[in-house]
C-alpha cells in the first residue's frame, strides 16, 4: 500500500502494508534510524516520535493510523527551540552513556516541556516513566529537563 507521510515538515511517500508499525517504516523504508527498537510492545519508549505534537510509541503505531498527520522524529527535533534547548541541556550535563535510548528520552522530554514549560519533579516522573534507560542516566535526565526549562524561560 502506498502512503503519504508528513515527516519532519517534508512529505514522503512510502510503500508498506497498512499494519506495519511506523517504527519499521521509519527505520527500514526511510532510513530514519534515530527512533530505536527496544521492546516492540510500547514498554520502553526507545521508539518515541511526535505525532501532531504528542509522543507516541512507533513500535505499536500502525502506519494506517498516522496517514496525513504531522510526524516529528529525533532527526527533526532540532527544528524547534524546545528541541534545541533539550538537546543542549543533554550535552551540557553529559546525559548520554550508550545513548541508545536517548532519542526517545529527548522526544518525551520535548513533549513534556511543550505542555508544561516549568515541570516539577512529579511532572517529570509522570512524563518520563515510559522511557527506560538501562545505563541509568535518570538523575541526569531529570536535571537536564530542569535545565532546559530554565534556559527556555530565560530566553523568553
Burial classification of residue 36, based on how many CB atoms lie within 10 Å of its CB (0-12 exposed, 13-18 middle, 19 or more buried): buried
Nearer to other proteins by Cβ, of 53 and 91: the residue is 91
Q: Between the CA of residue 142 and those of 8, 14, 128, what are the distances in Å? A: 26, 37, 9
- Residue from 6, 12, 123, 138 that binds other proteins (CB under 8 A)? 138
* Minimum CB distance to other proteins, residue 156 (Å): 22
- Residue from 6, 12, 40, 69 that binds other proteins (CB under 8 A)? 40
* Minimum CB distance to other proteins, residue 28 (Å): 4
Q: Are 102 and 90 in contact (CB under 8 A)?
A: yes
At CA 25, angle to CA 22 and CA 29, rounded to 5? 170
**Could you give the CA distance from residue 137 to residue 156 in angstroms, rounded to a whole number?**
29
Q: For other proteins, how many residues bind (rule: CB under 8 A)?
A: 60
- The interface region with other proteins, picked from 42-50, 64-72, 110-118, 147-155 by CB under 8 A, is 42-50
Which letter, b or e, does each residue of 115-124 get, where b requires 16 or more Cβ atoms within 10 Å of its Cβ? Answer: eeeebeeebb
98-137: contacts with other proteins (CB under 8 A)? 98-103, 106, 121, 124-126, 128-137
* Minimum CB distance to other proteins, residue 17 (Å): 6
Decide: is 56 part of the binding site for other proteins (CB under 8 A): no
Decide: is 68 part of the binding site for other proteins (CB under 8 A): no
Amino acid at each position: 500500500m502506498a502512503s503519504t507521510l508528513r515527516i519532519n515538515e517534508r512529505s514522503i511517500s512510502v510503500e508498506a502494508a497498512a499494519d506495519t508499525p511506523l517504527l519499521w517504516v521509519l527505520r527500514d523504508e526511510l532510513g530514519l534510524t534515530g527512533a530505536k527498537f527496544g521492546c516492540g510492545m510500547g514498554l520502553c519508549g526507545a521508539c518515541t516520535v511526535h505525532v501532531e505534537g504528542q509522543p507516541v510509541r512507533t513500535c505499536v503505531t500502525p502506519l494506517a493510523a498516522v496517514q496525513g498527520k504531522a510526524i516529528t522524529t529525533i532527526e527533526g527535533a532540532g527544528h524547534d527551540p524546545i528541541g534545541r534547548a533539550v538537546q543542549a541541556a543533554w550535552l551540557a550535563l553529559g546525559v548520554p552513556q550508550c545513548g541508545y535510548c536517548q532519542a526517545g528520552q529527548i522526544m518525551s522530554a520535548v513533549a513534556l516541556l511543550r505542555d508544561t514549560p516549568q515541570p516539577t519533579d512529579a511532572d517529570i516522573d509522570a512524563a518520563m516513566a515510559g522511557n527506560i534507560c538501562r545505563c541509568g542516566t535518570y538523575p541526569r535526565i531529570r536535571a537536564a529537563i530542569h535545565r532546559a526549562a530554565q534556559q527556555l524561560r530565560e530566553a523568553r
